[in-house]
Amino acid sequence: MITGATRTRNGKRRSHETARAVIDIGSNTVRLVIYGGPSRAPTVLWNEKVAARLGRDLAASGTIPDEAMDEALSALARYAVILRDWEITEVEAVATAAPRDADNGMLFLDRAASHGLDIRLLSGEEEACASAYGAIGAFPGACGTVIDLGGGSLELVVIGDGECREAASLRLGTLRLPAMRAKGNFTKKVRKALDEAGWAHNEPGPFYMVGGTWRAFATYAMRASEYPLTDPHGFELPAEEAARLATKLMRLRPEKLANIRGISSMRAEKLPDAAALLQVLMAEICPEQLVFSSWGLREGLHYQRLEPLEQAKDPLLAGVAAFAGTRGASVTDAALLAGWSAAVARHGSAQNERLRLAAAQLALALHRVEPNLRAAHAQEWALDKRWIDCDGRSRAMLAAALLGSLGITAMPERIRLLANEDELGEAITWGMAYRLAQRLGATARGALSASALATEDDRLTLSIAEDHAALAVYPVIKDLANLAFRLDREPHIEISAGVQEDI
């Protein structure tokens, strides 16, 4: 079993929500990312990179070029100033394949240390595991093989039960692939590398694809299929379709790929070689499908340091709580709203219940937005914001619930492409119940505590305490009737003193 560090260098475990930073010195880029928000679902406060390409000459000379070293050191000097100005003391600086493999790699690290940065040189196994823990954190319960493609190396890690089980780092990074393909026998060379690492066997489960080049591959696939979402994180691609696209990409010119929205010229240059590599990997390891992850090494370093209880938190609910909480919607009020509306939830699976709670908190936040912006925000928040552990079906249901809370029941095609009619109908019903609660008493805790929603026989009954009976006026009656009609029931209002009114 392979495990990673779970403590900071001073021995303290990390679970708080203060700003923290990661500097990632890779073979292609030198990047600074500053994170904030909840530890289980961190948000990016600042992200910048310099394409120094430290590893561009490794295959030919085995060294880091002087100009690349100078460019990287200039970036690190800048990052040190930014971190000082932000007053961030929790910094993890790591270096990977290029400094690790280059003859002058230690010279580079010694010069980098002059900027006051404590840089940790990761071994191939440590790099592989850090990337794998990024996927583990992003996809709770993930079981399969993490495929992290960087500039200097390719990391392969078998994951399951929240752990890394087998890991290897191969010299098959994007900066090495062009020369390998140009000399011929590319497939044979990749297979030999896999054999030497003990990877000449099938592994169950999907490939979890980590790295910017793979995300560019996902973007290409999403554009080709007119996929309705914009974020490649969580995008799933059947193995057969991935093989077909890889065959096509191997033959495309980078200039044509760079014209596709979302694919940079740097990634376009590397995609054909990466596609050729993917073909061999799929033939040898036989994944069920490809799942693309925007969480990788940097997020994995962060995830490894969390307390076990923090790791076990639901990343979607943690992210929603942070996002909606800053917009005046608390977790407590969301839980009260979700509980109040539970009677209309028809399919009480664990997955649907977490979505229902997330939708409740987002709906509360949505109704604090200007009315003319709400419909647009409902779709943007659900479909375009990066939520962790939230697939296309779940996003569609969140969108349907939010639109339902606005009284909108006709779903746009973009949403209908992601979930079936029953799933969307269920979510719309949640939203209509949230709308009823808001109509009843502005979602005040007093109004919800003094009322209850229940289904019995062919009725949908809203019970209201006598001291809140004045709330039962036309807007409430109308929304109750609309919700009852959707549930194929008769609406009733019942006052706790025993007076019952048919409507």
Q: What is the pLDDT of residues 418-456, one digit of tens each?
A: 999 999 999 999 999 999 999 999 888 999 999 999 998
Q: Which two tokens stand for residue 232?
A: 């490649």
Q: Which residues of 407-419 are buried (b: 16+ CB within 10 A; e: fewer)?
A: ebbebeeebeebb
Q: Residue 2 — pLDDT band, cuts 50, 70, 90?
A: very low
For residues 52 and 185, state if they share a domain: no
Q: Quote the pLDDT of residue 215.
A: 97
Phi, psi of 398 (to 5 degrees): -60, -45
Q: Quote the pLDDT of residue 11.
A: 40
**Alpha carbons within 13 A on the beta-carbon side of 359:** 38
Whether 499 has a pLDDT exceeding 80, the answer reads: no
Q: 80-98, pLDDT tens digit by residue?
A: 999 999 999 999 999 999 9
For residues 41 and 132, state if they share a domain: no
CA separation, residue 100 to residues 62, 117, 149, 156, 376 (Å): 11, 17, 16, 17, 48
Q: Residue 265's domain is classified under what CATH number?
A: 3.30.420.150
Give the separation between CA 139 and CA 133, rounded to whole angstroms. 10
Place of tokens 């850090």: 130
Q: Whole-model pTM?
A: 0.90
Mean pLDDT of 113-131: 93
Q: Do the domain assignments include residue 502? A: no
For residues 286 and 185, state if they share a domain: yes
Give residue 102's region: left, alpha or beta (phi > 0; psi -120 to 50).
beta
Q: Quote the pLDDT of residue 3.
A: 32
Average pLDDT score, the chain? 92
Contact 197, 386 (CB under 8 A): no
Among residues 354, 357, 318, the alpha carbon closest in space to that of 334 is found at: 357
Run of H or E including 117: none
Give the separation between CA 99 and CA 106, rounded to whole angstroms. 7
Three-state DSSP class for 465?
coil
Whether 14 has a pLDDT exceeding 60, the answer reads: no
Contact 26, 302 (CB under 8 A): no
For residues 154 and 78, state if they share a domain: no
Q: Do the domain assignments include residue 4? A: no
For residues 464 and 342, state if they share a domain: yes
Q: Which residues of 190-203 are buried (b: 16+ CB within 10 A; e: fewer)?
A: bbebbeebebeeeb
For residues 293 and 331, state if they share a domain: no
Q: Quote the pLDDT of residue 237.
A: 97
Q: Residue 134: which residues within 8 A CB-CB, separation 6 or more?
A: 210, 293, 295, 296, 297, 298, 299, 300, 303
**Residue % of the chain over a pLDDT of 90:** 88
Q: Residue 17 — pLDDT band, cuts 50, 70, 90?
A: low
Distance of CA 206 to the CA centre of its chain: 17
Q: Quote the pLDDT of residue 4.
A: 33
Single out the residue in 121, 139, 163 at which a domain terminates: 121
Q: Residue 8 — pLDDT band, cuts 50, 70, 90?
A: very low
Q: Which two tokens stand for residue 481?
A: 């009737």
Q: Which residues of 241-260 are buried (b: 16+ CB within 10 A; e: fewer)?
A: ebbebbeebbeeebeebbeb
Q: Do the domain assignments include residue 13? A: no
Q: Which residue has better confidence, 204 or 377?
A: 377
Q: 389-411, pLDDT tens digit by residue?
A: 999 999 999 999 999 999 999 99
Q: Quote the pLDDT of residue 9.
A: 39
Among residues 175, 206, 170, 194, the alpha carbon closest in space to that of 281 is found at: 194
Give the separation between CA 436 and CA 442, rounded to whole angstroms. 9
Give the separation between CA 382 and CA 365, rounded to whole angstroms. 12
Q: Do the domain assignments include residue 406? A: yes
Q: Quote the pLDDT of residue 192.
A: 94
Q: Which two tokens stand for residue 392?
A: 């296309």
> Burial, 393: exposed, middle or buried (Cβ in 10 Å; 0-12, 13-18, 19+)?
middle
Whether 261 has a pLDDT exceeding 60, the answer reads: yes
Domains of the chain: total: 3
For residues 105 and 171, state if they share a domain: no
For residues 327 and 420, state if they share a domain: yes
First-to-final CA distance of the chain = 64
Q: Do the domain assignments include residue 271? A: yes
Single out the residue in 121, 148, 173 at which a domain terminates: 121
Place of tokens 């880091």: 64
Mean pLDDT of 291-298: 97
For residues 339 and 228, state if they share a domain: no
Mean pLDDT of 279-289: 94
Sign of CA dihedral 436, 438, 439, 444: positive
Whether 496 has a pLDDT exceeding 90, the answer reads: no
Q: Do the domain assignments include residue 2? A: no
Q: 339-375, pLDDT tens digit by residue?
A: 999 999 987 788 899 999 999 999 999 999 999 999 9
CA separation, residue 145 to residues 132, 157, 171, 223 (Å): 9, 5, 18, 25
Sign of CA dihedral 413, 414, 420, 423: negative
Single out the residue in 121, 150, 181 at which a domain terminates: 121
Q: Quote the pLDDT of residue 174.
A: 94
The torsion angle over the Cα atoms of residues 180, 183, 188 and 193, rounded to 10 degrees, is -30
For residues 260 and 340, state if they share a domain: no
Q: Which two tokens stand for residue 186?
A: 């590319």
Q: 232-256, pLDDT tens digit by residue?
A: 999 999 999 999 999 999 999 999 9
Give the separation between CA 54 and CA 99, rounded to whole angstroms. 8
Among residues 90, 145, 101, the alpha carbon closest in space to that of 123 is found at: 101
Contact 273, 181 (CB under 8 A): yes
For residues 44 and 145, state if they share a domain: no
Q: Do the domain assignments include residue 5? A: no
Q: Do the domain assignments include residue 407? A: yes
Sign of CA dihedral 390, 392, 393, 394: positive
Q: 180-213, pLDDT tens digit by residue?
A: 999 999 999 999 999 988 875 677 899 999 999 9
Give the separation between CA 240 and CA 279, rounded to whole angstroms. 11
Give the separation between CA 93 and CA 21, rounded to whole angstroms. 8
Taking the CB of residue 474, how many other CB atoms lie within 10 A of it?
A: 9
For residues 130 and 116, state if they share a domain: no
Q: Residue 51's domain is classified under what CATH number?
A: 3.30.420.40
Domain that holds residue 40: 20-121
Q: 134-151, pLDDT tens digit by residue?
A: 999 999 999 999 999 999
